[in-house]
Amino acid sequence: MLKIFSFAREWTAGFLISVIAYATLFYVNAWLTSSLTFGLGVNWIYLPAGLRLFLTLIFGLPGALGIALASFLISYCGDFPHELTLCVGVGLISGFAPYLARIFVISNVKLAPDLSNLNLPKLIICILVYALLSAGLHQFWFATNALDDSGTLNHFFVMFLGDVLGSLLLISVIKYGLDVLKKLKQTAY
């Protein structure tokens, strides 16, 4: 019985952290990179892409569901047309493209589910697989729903590049922050 409560607590925490962190970084990214927007839902640098991958690598399904909910709400309450089907699709793609990349990389690149053997080459593969899935599925969905000025090959390439650059930048910032904390901790002793 205790294991069930522990599992539910972990699952809920992963879900809530993903919802809050993704929504927060989305709006921070919109503020920081407003001049780098290529089209609806497409940025030249998209920091939340790195967070999507990071959250699904760490939390798995709860992370994917949290991102999906946050992305749905952002889409429905934001610049996208207020069409329920369109925004549900955007949310599901946003949450499950990185989750599918996680599954692909864990099974094909021999990445341990606990990420204990994650190294730079495996991380780069994760980022590229995720960016291809995300850009491809988003642009396919946009084209299928006949969104104006979206769903083209140019939008795909910019979204792919924005997801790769955003992921690399965010992961670099996280790595740098961890290194700084490690040094501060060492100097404190």
Q: How far apart are CA 154 and CA 140, in angstroms?
A: 12
Q: How confident is the model at residue 13 (pLDDT cuts 50, 70, 90)?
A: very high
What is the tally of structural domains in the chain? 1
Query: Rounded to two decimals, what is the model's pTM?
Result: 0.88
Q: How far apart are CA 48 and CA 138, in angstroms?
A: 15
Q: How confident is the model at residue 36 (pLDDT cuts 50, 70, 90)?
A: confident
Q: How confident is the model at residue 6 (pLDDT cuts 50, 70, 90)?
A: confident
pLDDT higher than 80, residue 104: yes
Sign of the Cα torsion 130, 136, 137, 139 reads: positive
Contacts of 135 (CB under 8 A, 6+ apart): 156, 157, 159, 160, 163
Q: Which structural domain range is residue 68 located in?
A: 2-188
Q: Residue ranges of the alpha helices (H) in the chain?
A: 2-32, 47-59, 61-77, 84-108, 120-144, 153-188
Q: How far apart are CA 14 and CA 8, in angstroms?
A: 10
pLDDT higher than 70, residue 1: no
Q: How far apart are CA 146 and CA 141, in angstroms?
A: 9
Tokens of 77: 């309450």
Q: Residue 61 belongs to a domain with what CATH number?
A: 1.10.1760
Q: Give per-residue burial for 29-55: e unless 16+ CB within 10 Å, then b.
A: bbeebeeebbbbbbbebbbbbbbbbbb
- Tens-digit pLDDT profile for residues 157-179: 999 999 999 999 998 888 788 77
Q: How far apart are CA 125 and CA 109, in angstroms?
A: 8
